[in-house]
Structure 1
Amino acid sequence: MWRLPALALMLLAPLVSHAQTVKLWPGVAPGSEHWTQKEQVEKNTPVGTVIINVVEPTLTAYLPEPGTATGTAVVIAPGGAFVALAIDREGNDVARWLQARGIAAFVLKYRTMEKRQPGIPPNMDMDAAGQYGIADGIQAIKLIRQHAAEWHVSPDKVGIVGFSAGGMLASEVLLQHDASARPDFAALIYGAPFGRMPSVPAKLPPVFMAWAQDDPVARDDVARYYAALLAAGNKPEAHIYSAGGHGFGMTQQGTTSDRWIDEFHAWMVAQGFIAASARKAH
């Protein structure tokens, strides 16, 4: 079994005001051995800071102070149509919110397709584009469970939350064939399979979903996936907001969608992943 270097584990000591980053795979991530694009950070975009051309996937850990740690861990997969990652609004900002409430948060910088033109390529094959990020999501869950003791988390309380394309990633990690490797819970925020509809089994781990009625990008796909979960006998919790649009993340817009993360936290408490005594924010 692959182990993180001792130095990396030392750097991941639970400091509430700091985050540390480790590589997701030992060596080059499988499938991208010949990628040559250069990772770039773009600031001041319509969705804040984004990262493009990700070749080397990483996990950035936001670990709570030992006295506040709940033992729960959440992998956070930002969105960006598999060509970019909205790394703050749908990543680091979410992680800090969870960290402050005793939840170990791990921002997943997963592999993206090379961005060669502005915007999203027309007629993009989301299944093909997402395969590398999905593999990274599966590896992230495995890695956290392997190092649960070092990171002070419970291996049976490891979940994933994904936004937009990150929600598609999270849904595929949830549906992977190896049931023992699935996350213990999943949250899909205006995200779901955007390509083919995968086969949905019964008895999946608990699922939380949130989207807005005025979302022109993801609404129909998310609703379709919600219906598929129900048809398979699962009982996902769905929050459908009257307004909020697509990509609201941690942005405060004065709509009820602003409260999605509070409702997600309350749901984790109700599901038993967080003790009721940890409900109050620090």
Structure 2
Amino acid sequence: MKAEIHKPFAARLVHQLLTGVGAAAIVLTCALTSPAHALDDKMTPIATPAQPNAIELGTGPLPGATAKEAWHSQYGSVFARNVTVATLTPFLPDPAKATGAAVIVAPGGGFMTLSMENEGWQVAQALADHGVAAFVLKYRLNPTPEDMGAFEHSMAEMFSGAARPRPPAQQDPATALAPQINDARAAFALVRSRAAEWHIDPDRVGMVGFSAGAMLTLSTALYGQDAKPAFIGDIYGPLMPVTVPADAPPLFVALASDDPFFANAGYGLIDNWRAAKRPVEFHLFEQGGHGFGMYKKETTSTGWFDEFVLWLGMHGYLKPKA
């Protein structure tokens, strides 16, 4: 599958995420600004968790990648990096409460890691508990040093600003984002191909993403060709202006006003969705930082998931289709 991306929009995505210290800052501080400070911020290598239900998506290994997939714990969660083979892990609801709706969940991590627990498995299980089938997308990532110490050093160097990536004009945004968009398209194709087996309505499959995963979710909705999510959730992703198609899906957005990356660049995405007369709901929480995910905090940002579920119910996704 070849993704075609609107280059001005993709360039802004790549610029926000892959230039300056943006990517490293997201990797190093997304959880620092969110869970209790008591959580251990040390990156500790762990064995690759058992993922018996993970299904390879068939988009192939990431071209040119040499490091093996590796996992580590940090901030009371687990993270994957150097993902070269995309997978999709189903979390299916009890058949007695299944609604027929489904959500593909895209964790974040600056396209260099994936917060598989806080922004993946826990989100998917919570959705399944509400009768919505959920599928965690482990999409392919930009390569990082294989050695954990070298990885930490490279991230610290980027965070300090010592490393200077190529200017955005020299980056090909279509190339930078195409593997992840292809993974998302393959995920939608897989879910729809097995819809009968999984008791899913193929017309009621949406997507929710976090940070980089939110960028992927929006890109999939706008430029993912055959993916066509029924609805999308953008959780602490950038809100730059976009051109909204006439058939754009309902959009749910959650962001904290103290988010260090995306809270101070305006809300063009919201304005554009409204101007196009497409459904949009926007929650701007007073506090929460970046990367709050499913962490329990003493801020109202913890309630984003409950609001998302209410929003799904308002659009009819918490009951079987009549």
Considering the TM-score relative to the shorter chain, is it more than 0.5?
yes
CA RMSD between the two structures: 2.4
Aligned to 1:20: 53
Q: Say whether the 8 Å CA contact 1:187–1:207 is kept in structure 2.
A: yes
Give secondary structure in 1 for the equivalent of 2:54.
Answer: strand
Q: Does residue 280 of structure 2 align to residue 250 of structure 1? A: no
Superposed displacement of residue 252, structure 1: 1.0
Q: Does residue 139 of structure 2 align to residue 106 of structure 1? A: no
Aligned to 1:217: 261
Superposed displacement of residue 237, structure 1: 0.6
Q: Does residue 309 of structure 2 align to residue 272 of structure 1? A: no
Q: How many residues align?
A: 252
Alignment of 1:202-213 (within 5 A): 202-213=246-257
Q: Does residue 207 of structure 2 align to residue 160 of structure 1? A: yes
Superposed displacement of residue 190, structure 1: 0.5
Give the Cα separation in 2 of the matches to 1:193 and 1:23: 31
Superposed displacement of residue 220, structure 1: 3.7
Going from structure 1 to structure 2, the CA distance change for 1:129 and 1:219 (only over 3 Å counts) comes to: farther
Going from structure 1 to structure 2, the CA distance change for 1:140 and 1:193 (only over 3 Å counts) comes to: farther
Give secondary structure in 2 for the equivalent of 1:138.
Answer: helix
Q: Does residue 96 of structure 2 align to residue 67 of structure 1? A: yes
Going from structure 1 to structure 2, the CA distance change for 1:221 and 1:40 (only over 3 Å counts) comes to: farther
Deviations 1:108-148 (A, max 9, x none): 00000001322567557694543311221122112111110
Aligned to 1:55: 84
Give the Cα separation in 2 of the matches to 1:19 and 1:95: 16
Amino acid across the alignment from 2:306: D
Q: Say whether the 8 Å CA contact 1:171–1:193 is kept in structure 2.
A: no
Give secondary structure in 2 for the equivalent of 1:168.
Answer: helix
Aligned to 2:235: 189
Q: Does residue 120 of structure 2 align to residue 91 of structure 1? A: yes
Aligned to 2:24: none
Give the Cα separation in 1 of the matches to 2:271 and 2:319: 30
Give the Cα separation in 1 of the matches to 2:211 and 2:185: 17
Give the Cα separation in 2 of the matches to 1:153 and 1:61: 12
Going from structure 1 to structure 2, the CA distance change for 1:200 and 1:258 (only over 3 Å counts) comes to: same
Give secondary structure in 1 for the equivalent of 2:196.
Answer: coil
Superposed displacement of residue 36, structure 1: 1.9
Give secondary structure in 1 for the equivalent of 2:301.
Answer: helix
Give secondary structure in 2 for the equivalent of 1:219.
Answer: coil
Give the Cα separation in 2 of the matches to 1:106 and 1:265: 16
Which consecutive unaligned segments of at least 5 residues does structure 2 have?
A: 1-50, 146-153
Amino acid across the alignment from 2:177: G
State the TM-score, normalizing by the size of structure 2. 0.72
Superposed displacement of residue 160, structure 1: 0.3
Aligned to 2:27: none
Give the Cα separation in 1 of the matches to 2:180 and 2:110: 11
Amino acid across the alignment from 1:111: R
Superposed displacement of residue 229, structure 1: 2.1
Q: Say whether the 8 Å CA contact 1:112–1:129 is kept in structure 2.
A: no
Give the Cα separation in 2 of the matches to 1:240 and 1:47: 25
Give the Cα separation in 1 of the matches to 2:52 and 2:133: 11
Give secondary structure in 1 for the equivalent of 2:232.
Answer: strand
Deviations 1:62-88 (A, max 9, x none): 111211211111100000010110110
Going from structure 1 to structure 2, the CA distance change for 1:157 and 1:112 (only over 3 Å counts) comes to: same
Give the Cα separation in 2 of the matches to 1:122 and 1:185: 37
Deviations 1:143-176 (A, max 9, x none): 1111101111110110100000000000011102
Q: Does residue 155 of structure 2 align to residue 118 of structure 1? A: yes
Superposed displacement of residue 177, structure 1: 5.9
Amino acid across the alignment from 1:248: F
Q: Does residue 35 of structure 2 align to residue 35 of structure 1? A: no
Amino acid across the alignment from 1:48: S
Superposed displacement of residue 256, structure 1: 0.9
Amino acid across the alignment from 2:56: K
Give secondary structure in 2 for the equivalent of 1:181.
Answer: coil
Superposed displacement of residue 201, structure 1: 1.6
Higher gyration radius (CA)? 2
Aligned to 1:142: 189
Going from structure 1 to structure 2, the CA distance change for 1:141 and 1:174 (only over 3 Å counts) comes to: same
Q: Percent identity of the aligned residues?
A: 39
